[in-house]
Amino acid sequence: MATVYAIILAGGLGERFWPLGTPERPKPFLRLLEGKSFLQATVERMRLLIPLSCQLVVTGRSHAGLVRGEVPDLPEENLLLEPEGRNTAVAIGLASLHLEQKDPEAALIALPADHAIPDEALFLKALERGIAAALAQEGTVVFGIPPDRPETGYGYIQRGQKIEEGLYQVHRFWEKPDLPTAEGFLRSGDYFWNSGIFVWRNRVLQRLLERHLPDHWQSLSRLREVWGTEVYNPLLQAIYARLEGVSIDSGVLEKAEGTVMVHGGFRWDDVGTWAALARVLPRDPSGNIVMGRHLGLETKDCVIYSSGRMIGTVGLEGLIIVETEQGILVATKEKSQEVRRMARLAKKASLEG
């Protein structure tokens, strides 16, 4: 049986969790999960199935120190550094080439480093199901999460014909619908959130990349000849400079045939905004999510983060309040998606002095 490796994608710009998240410390490295970073939680969860020696972390070159700080036992050769972000298809392609050198018969699970999955036992059971399906069918396996709300910030998977209990053919992928469409998806029962977790045999993944992203794959494949030499980093820099960023979803999965979906029976959350923390962290008796020092009077249903200073609130409801050295954020929970715009405004203001 093929050895299964985990490819953990740990990048990002840190915009959605400004002012705590920054380009220097993006979301995977934020300690928002009860004292753990998203990356730490992901690595620990995967260690229940896959040893650390078989986990590879792909991140930006500037974040190498952060990874080593969060996962100090990660073997040095298992840290793959990108010169700059080029989205998931390129990151997974780079990891695929690394695995080819390490283990020609490898299979791999690719997953983001910044999601919350509290149901570890159910998650691992679904992964084992997906691995078995990928090895048996020589195809792509995705994990669909039954939606519990009409979410417009997630991609969706429409299930097709049932293969067996809990396993379906994929009819189509759908990127971030508008609210009426998402409401229709919820009512239909045939649409699932796309968890962004995928399983392949490595040789199957490489065939898909070669077929659907030939220019990207040909460029990356030039690294085969220089792996482990002093020419590797300059060539990698040159390749990344000319490659267009593309996601594995739009670049490969939406075009590929024979993809199957495992019905993910575990809780999962992308945790894409400050407001989303209310879905994954415990609340105080007034319904607040509090991280750090806070004194509240008649304050309820708020998300409050303090990096050190005391935050005092009186008569507030439904707000996000964040205090860090980088700045202070006050927003309504309904406008939490706009924090990304605020991060970009703050960056522009900083550059302008």
Confidence at 125, pLDDT banded by 50, 70, 90? very high
pLDDT at 14: 86
| Distance separating alpha carbons of residues 88 and 350, to the nearest angstrom | 29
Locus of tokens 């796309």 = 194
| Distance separating alpha carbons of residues 171 and 258, to the nearest angstrom | 9
Confidence at 347, pLDDT banded by 50, 70, 90? confident
Residue 243 vs residues 85, 111, 265, 351: alpha-carbon distances, Å: 10, 22, 37, 27
Enumerate the β-bridge partners of residue 144.
194, 263
pLDDT (tens digit per residue) in 147-197? 999 999 999 999 999 999 999 999 999 999 999 999 999 999 999 999 999
Locus of tokens 């490595």 = 202
The CATH T-level fold of domain 4-263 is: Spore Coat Polysaccharide Biosynthesis Protein SpsA; Chain A (3.90.550)
**CA-based nearest residue to 344, from 48, 13, 46:** 13
Mean of pLDDT values over 116-121: 93
| Distance separating alpha carbons of residues 318 and 20, to the nearest angstrom | 19
- The domain locations on the chain are 4-263, 275-351
Confidence at 352, pLDDT banded by 50, 70, 90? confident
Pairing of strands 191-201, 260-263: unpaired
pLDDT (tens digit per residue) in 25-75? 999 999 999 889 999 999 999 999 999 999 999 999 999 999 999 999 999
Mean of pLDDT values over 328-332: 97
For the cut 90, the answer to whether the pLDDT of residue 277 exceeds it is yes
Mean of pLDDT values over 125-149: 95
Helix axes 214-221, 232-242, angle to 10 degrees: 160
Which position has the higher pLDDT, 14 or 215? Answer: 215
pLDDT at 353: 63
pLDDT at 296: 96
pTM: 0.95
| Distance separating alpha carbons of residues 18 and 345, to the nearest angstrom | 11
Tokens of 244: 């267009």
Enumerate the β-bridge partners of residue 79.
57
For the cut 90, the answer to whether the pLDDT of residue 13 exceeds it is no
For the cut 90, the answer to whether the pLDDT of residue 77 exceeds it is yes
pLDDT at 255: 93
| Distance separating alpha carbons of residues 169 and 158, to the nearest angstrom | 9
Above pLDDT 70, what percent of the chain?
100
